[in-house]
Structure formats: structure tokens, C-alpha cells
A = this chain, B = another copy of it.
Amino acid sequence: MLSWTCPAPLRDRPRVVMGHGGGGALSAELVEQVLLPAFGGREPAALTDSATVELGGARLAFSTDSFVVRPLFFPGGSIGDLAVNGTVNDLAMSGARPAVLSCGLILEEGVELDTVARVARALGAAARAAGVRVVTGDTKVVEAGHGDGVYVNTSGIGLIPAGVDLRPERVVPGDVVVVSGAVGAHGVAIMSERENLRFEVGIESDCAPLGGLVEAMLAVTPDLHVLRDPTRGGLAAALNEIAAGSGTGVVVQERAVPVPPPVAAACAMLGLDPMYVANEGKLVAFVPREHADAVLAAMRAHPRGAEAAIVGEVVADHPGMVVARTGLGGTRVVDLPLGEQLPRIC
């Protein structure tokens, strides 16, 4: 059902392909085989979206993301919203309370200043909504034909509360897998805008900050095991990363994964699997079984988690592998995507 933009043999080619930016296996190869050895580190933190740093007695989360989404404005958001929520959510997935952001712009010569202003206003509004301050920035300009209007990098710092320790290594068989809501909307919204598709029911990006939801979950117990926001590569990539990082197996009940009917219909038409479509306002949590009901209740009581659902569990079998039980009672392997279904999704 998936149509990759880069078939497997590209892996051996000597040039960068779009899939190297897709958050799947090609991205992981680039990081593991090229970047990490060059940077001289083999810290697990460098593999994830956010690093934990001890500095001056404070335990900080530090994260960076560049945004190259096309188009700049789409149903439910813009590159400015993504730039805030993407980085804020990476910090929140460390259990941190996001505090400050930087904003680095790469503008293409000739782009209208009004467009830059619209992006900046969206970014400012999203920062206020997420409760973070943009405190430092940088702007570069490149010649026409060497950019695409506006690229945005945001980096962020958050403070990790005492007792919170979220990482795949803490996942154990028996953990319950919870998703905070319906998946697939962001990717379908971008694609429909780009391809000028119109569905009967408009589909908007779910782009939203998750700091408040994470705080509500940690108020139940600081002992959550891992959180991840399923962006590029979708829920499939997030679950695979956690399975690989924890050395456990993950079993997902396919029918339990909430997908809005318009998104499911659009995916069927476009040949996409909702499990692989990017989200920008959802999280997946691996929760100790004894806390699962209470955490789920806290999530459902929060506006960003009203549709939260238990979608699976962690098993000792098939370590590193994600398996879906299908609606018909069958089983299929949910692979790490190789490249990406939709380039420049964020």
C-alpha cells in the first residue's frame, strides 16, 4: 500500500536523496553512518530528537528542528506553527517544561516581506499559545533559486522536573502503549493542499503544542517510560524507534488506532497507510501497566488528549520489531519506513 519515493537500491548511491530527510531508515543510516562518527560521539542522545544536558545544576532538554514544509501555509497551520510546536513537542517528549526558543530564518531573495511577516506572526502566536518565549534569532538570505521562500530552524530549551526519566531503555514487557488521539491528519492536510485535492470533509493539520498534556500525564506519575511524537514516518516510525531502542517487541491492535474517517478515506484514495502519515499534535506513551488506566483518564480529561486510546502493549517476543494485529485477526510486521511517503512534510 506504501509508495516510497526512494526504492531500496538508492541506499547505495553516493548522493543525497529526498528519503534521507524522511525520518525513516535512510535518515537513520545517514545519522549513524555519516553524522555520528564525524561528530565524534556515539551518545544515544544524539540519535533522538532531544538531548538531556546537565548544566549549572539544572537538568535541561535541548532540541533542534529545521522546517522546510511546502506550502508555507496549509489547512490548520503554517511553517510558523510547525516551527514552534515541532520543537516544543520534542522538548515535552523528554518530560521537560518547554521554556525558550531560538529562531533561525533562511530567506530566499525575492520572497515578499509580507510572507515573512505572516510566518513570523504565526510563529509568535504559536509561541504564546505554547507558553514559550522566542529569545534569540538569526536571519540569512540566499539568492533566488537556492531556497524556497522561507526555511525556519527552531531550537529550544526546557527544564526536566526531578524524578522524570523518559527513554526507550526503560520500556519493559507489559507496558501499555497509549496514543493521545487520532492519527494521520497533518500529512493528509499537507498533501491535499499541495495537490489541490478537495475532500467532502475538510482535513486540517493537527499541529498543536503538547506541553500541557505531558504535564497532566506526569502529574499522575512521573514514572512514565517513554513519550514520542509521531511526526515524519508516523506512528510506525515512532514505535519502531522505541522497539529498537528498548530491545522489546511492540504489538499494536490495528483497529484500536484512532483514524478520523475522512483521513482514512483520503489515505485509501491516495494509497497511504495512516500508520506512516505524519502528525504534529499527537504523542505515543509507553506506560507501566499499573498506571495505564489513571494516565489514560488524565489524558482524556485534557483537551489535547480527549480521544486518547490504548492501542497496544510491549512483549518479550520479537525484540526490536513492531507487529500489528489486523482487523481480520491476522498479523503483519510494521516496518520502519525506508524513506518517506511525502517529502517536505515539516
Q: Chain A: residues with CB nearer than 8 A to chain B?
A: 14-22, 27, 30-31, 34-35, 38-41, 43, 45-46, 48-51, 53, 55-60, 62-68, 99-100, 102-114, 116-117, 120-121, 123-125, 127-128, 133-143, 145-148, 151, 153, 155, 157, 159, 343-344
Chain B, residue nearest A105 (CB): B66
In the complex, what's the smallest C-beta–C-beta distance from A101 to chain B, in angstroms?
9
Shortest CB-to-CB span from A210 to chain B, Å, is 18
Nearest B residue to A135, CB-CB: B51
Among A138, A147, A153, max chain B CB count under 10 A is at: A138
The dominant DSSP class at the A interface is: mixed
Given contacts A17-B141, A136-B48, A145-B145, contact A157 B53 (CB under 8 A): yes
What residues of chain B lie closer than 8 Å to A146, measured between beta carbons? 68, 146-148
Known: A17-B141, A21-B139, A31-B139. 14 other contacts (CB 8 A): A14-B114, A21-B142, A39-B123, A39-B134, A39-B137, A46-B134, A51-B102, A55-B99, A55-B159, A63-B136, A66-B138, A68-B140, A142-B148, A145-B145
- A123 partner, pick from B18, B38, B136, beta carbons under 8 A: B38
